[in-house]
């Protein structure tokens, strides 16, 4: 039975309204996932995350492997026990770190060897190891190990990354089948130990499509990943410097090659205008560090544009961050108070702005779902995108 139920589509674009079912609950889509890289959404309690409207969060395999380690996470009750979050969790495979930590990485067709950014220790990671780690973490949605390339990138490197991504996806699926479904002929994994059937909660496995901004490579990769067969399909390798238009065009040319009965996930893309364009193209899931990272740096998202709360214009401001927002930050604190918290190093400032930004994103996703249900998403989103573009052009 499919993990994804398609409820309705917009009559004028590819936007979809659906429900994704996981071992820890259902996710109404389109959905945005806050990022908890090391097992926590920085500075935010699980109850506060839930209050923003978030239904699912994301963890990072590479960082959790380094600290506190898979054995420790298992002993603490898995990732759900570590985080205190009893709702769905998606983990990335560590493939993005192939790109982001490239200066510390050696890569070949078998996998990757990282030099730990903490102490320089050599850390091997490949399709089998990444899959086993995520299963042991207790993730609801596991991502295949892939190779993410920078932008721009030489054509030969891009083609090689696509080929590796496809081969690693095959190996991830074989490892996942053995681990979760108890397949025969377990394959030894070094250094994690042998794969063996487990009694852990069943997880979903998503394949990832790479190919840079090359539409033909994206098509080829998508078709091969779909042939292998996964519970869901992700578009990776974007938001690495290609810009909004190239990102949107790449998504538009990739989604038609993905099964309509499966969820579509755009990895790491998170500006509101990017999310709107991707939903129009048929994407169901998103994640990004922007709401919390920017919040920790005194940057607030609002429908009227961004606010930088360290600016002196806010010194005596009694306004809320965003009139009409129902988050605790906007209901109980002024811009002047928040500026003060940042300028004196009070941790409440980053916490409040992170909460507001997370709520801003969840309100955006709720609006998106509502307009898809109404059947007027295409016209509404076109207007919103034009409005955001106009705000960005303002001096």
Report, as residue numbers or ranges, the catalytic residues. 92, 287
CB 270 within 8 A of CB 290: yes
Residue 364, classed as helix, strand or coil, is: helix
Q: Which residues contact 212 (CB under 8 A, 6 or more apart)?
A: 149, 151, 153, 158, 218, 237, 242, 250
CB 292 within 8 A of CB 358: yes
Q: Which two tokens stand for residue 256?
A: 């038609």
Q: Which two tokens stand for residue 15?
A: 């936007």
> What is the C-alpha separation between 98 and 67, in angstroms, rounded?
18
* DSSP letters spanning 152-173: S--HHHHHHHHHHHHHHHHHHH
> What is the C-alpha separation between 88 and 138, in angstroms, rounded?
10
Q: Which two tokens stand for residue 86?
A: 């009893």
Q: How many CA atoms lie within 13 A of 337 on its CB side?
A: 13
Cα distances from 264 to residues 138, 228, 232, 255, 267, in angstroms, run: 22, 16, 6, 8, 10
Q: Which two tokens stand for residue 208?
A: 């990832």
First to last CA, the chain: 52
Q: Which residues contact 13 (CB under 8 A, 6 or more apart)?
A: 280, 281, 377, 378, 381
From the CB of residue 81, how many other CB atoms can be counted at a distance below 10 Å? 15
**Any alpha helices (H) in 182-289, and if so which ranges?**
215-228, 244-254, 272-281
């Amino acid at each position: 039975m499919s993990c994804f139920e398609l409820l309705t589509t917009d009559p004028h674009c590819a936007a979809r309204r659906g429900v994704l079912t996981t071992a820890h609950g259902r996710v109404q889509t389109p959905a945005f996932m806050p990022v908890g890289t090391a097992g926590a959404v920085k500075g935010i309690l699980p109850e506060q995350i839930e209050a923003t409207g978030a239904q699912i969060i994301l963890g990072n395999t590479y960082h959790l492997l380094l600290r506190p380690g898979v054995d420790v996470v298992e002993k603490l009750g898995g990732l759900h026990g570590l985080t205190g979050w009893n709702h769905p969790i998606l983990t990335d495979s560590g493939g993005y770190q192939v790109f982001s930590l490239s200066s510390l990485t050696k890569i070949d067709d078998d996998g990757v060897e990282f030099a730990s950014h903490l102490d320089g220790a050599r850390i091997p990671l490949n399709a089998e190891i990444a899959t086993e780690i995520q299963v042991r973490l207790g993730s609801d949605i596991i991502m295949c190990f892939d190779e993410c390339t920078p932008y721009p990138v030489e054509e030969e490197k891009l083609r090689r990354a696509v080929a590796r991504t496809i081969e690693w996806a095959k190996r991830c699926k074989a490892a996942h089948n053995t681990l979760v479904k108890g397949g025969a002929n377990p394959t030894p994994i070094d250094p994690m130990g042998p794969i063996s059937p487990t009694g852990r909660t069943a997880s979903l496995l998503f394949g990832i499509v790479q190919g840079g901004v090359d539409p033909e490579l994206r098509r080829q990769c998508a078709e091969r990943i779909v042939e292998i067969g996964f519970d869901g399909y992700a578009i990776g390798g974007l938001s690495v410097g290609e810009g909004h238009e190239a990102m949107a065009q790449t998504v538009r040319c990739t989604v038609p090659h993905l099964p309509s009965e499966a969820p579509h996930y755009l990895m790491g893309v998170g500006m509101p205008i990017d999310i709107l364009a991707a939903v129009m193209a048929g994407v169901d899931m998103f994640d990004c560090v922007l709401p919390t990272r920017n919040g920790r740096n005194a940057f607030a998202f609002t429908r009227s544009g961004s606010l930088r709360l360290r600016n002196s214009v806010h010194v005596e401001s009694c306004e809320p961050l965003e009139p009409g927002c129902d988050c605790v930050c906007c209901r109980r604190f002024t811009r002047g108070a928040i500026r003060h918290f940042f300028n004196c190093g009070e941790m409440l400032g980053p916490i409040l702005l992170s909460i507001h930004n997370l709520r801003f994103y969840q309100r955006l996703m709720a609006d998106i779902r509502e307009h898809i249900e109404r059947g007027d998403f295409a016209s509404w989103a076109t207007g919103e995108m034009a409005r955001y573009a106009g705000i960005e052009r303002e001096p």
